[in-house]
Amino acid sequence: MFAGKKILVGVTGGIAAYKAAEMISRLRKQHAEVHVAMTKAATEFIAPLTLQSLAANPVHVELFEEPKLWNVEHISLAEYIDAVVVAPATANILTKMAIGLADDFLSTVLLATRVPIFVAPAMNHAMYHHPATQANLAILKERGIYVLGPNTGFQACGTDGDGRMSEPVEIVEALARFFVSRDWLKGKRVLVTAGGTQEPLDPVRYLGNRSSGRMGYAIAQALQETGAETILLSAPTDLPTPSGVTRISVQTALEMYDAVLARFLEVDVVVMAAAVADYRPAVQAEQKIKKDGTNCTLELVPNPDILAELGRRKTTQILIGFAAETENLLANAQSKMQRKNVNLIVANDVTKPGAGFGCTTNIVSFLFPDGRKIDFPQLSKLEVGRLLVRELTSLLEVEIKE
């Protein structure tokens, strides 16, 4: 099941740490390459030598220990692995992950890595239900971290309740399902556009929009997770490129138009998540425009509509568009879907709290040309990306094996 997969097992200091031994052993039996990072507290519960022997790899505890395999180990390991699973995950590590604290080997890798992360919380039920822990878990889920369990039952502190770590077999099954599902779109090439284009006025100014690029980046990550060859054509953003994704940077709508059209025949799918400027200044001044105290009028000329052009040219390609609206959401989205000849349009009302520009979450509906409509609650942009990938698999008539 895990042949060729490199999994980092993070073990933190809870009584369930002993269960990490069984989990590692199960992963190894299914041919995973296992690396282990333990917190200092975890070493009080189970000896590193036990986990090292089961993993057949050195166990990392200290950030500044003698390098065992790599030069800057926490960075190279963060880039080397395919997934991390933290089991047991104490309330403490969940808090550190939520705030981005990196004060030991494991928490530093967790901050440095861009690969999928799974956590299996394990703690006393009162700690689990504490609003701080629940808020941290909500933050982690919103970032796309997979939370496994916890289970309910007898706890080491002598009480019954939620907070027992999921069983090793359940955790390994969840990882296996994830890796199997990763290959749905293997062999498919997908182009995703993201961010807001910038239309220069002069060397220091441009016309832009409020798009952060987060939605497109999340879609690119979700596509990459399912094995698609993913090209991210990005307008300027501050976001890191998801690992395994090829990023091409553009600034203006015209540059994006050229870059998309140049690749259109080579791809199976285009997802136009970018907020493309509909107009650009008629002239771009060579020098900084000086004020003279009087009114100033800008002349704008229309940019090409990239998606509409793709809709005219498409043969077998699947086209996915977005409709960012401030009123008449469904009517506007439906008319865009028809005008641009797309297979699916993602409609969102950007005025709703928790949706649209700059947010890490979105509230969307998927509309299809046959009249189908699926409404979703507020979800993280990564979850929206993953749901979009599911729809894409059926549009591509790819079978999902679960």
Nearer to ligand CTP, 133 or 348 (CB): 348
Give residues with Cβ within 8 angstroms of 154, minimum separation 6: 160, 164
Q: In the block, which residue shows the tokens 């400027």?
A: 277
The pattern of x and - marking residues 317 through 356 that bind ligand CTP according to CB under 6 A reads: ----xxxx-----------x--------------------
Give residues with Cβ within 8 angstroms of 186, minimum separation 6: 226, 227, 228
Q: Does 306 bind ligand CTP (CB under 6 A)?
A: yes
Contact 15, 42 (CB under 8 A): no
Rounded Cα–Cα distance for residues 221 and 355 (Å): 19
Tokens of 173: 């099954």
Identify the CA nearest to 385 among candidates 232, 261, 278: 232
User: Given the rule CB under 6 A, which of 25-33, 119-127, 300-308, 391-399 is the region that contacts ligand CTP?
Assistant: 300-308
Rounded Cα–Cα distance for residues 299 and 45 (Å): 70
Binding residue for ligand CTP, selected from 272, 363, 379, 382, defined by CB under 6 A: 272
Coil, strand, or helix at residue 353? coil
Amino acid found at 82: D
| Total Cβ atoms within 10 A of residue 286 | 7
Shortest spacing between CB 339 and ligand CTP, in angstroms = 8
Shortest spacing between CB 254 and ligand CTP, in angstroms = 10
Nearer to ligand CTP, 52 or 341 (CB): 341
Catalytic residue among 157, 204, 300, 331: 157
User: Given the rule CB under 6 A, which of 13-21, 32-40, 272-280, 358-366 is the region that contacts ligand CTP?
Assistant: 272-280
User: Given the rule CB under 6 A, which of 85-93, 106-114, 145-153, 305-313 is the region that contacts ligand CTP?
Assistant: 305-313
Q: Does 231 bind ligand CTP (CB under 6 A)?
A: no
Contact footprint for ligand CTP (CB under 6 A) = 253, 272, 274, 276, 278, 303, 305-307, 321-324, 336
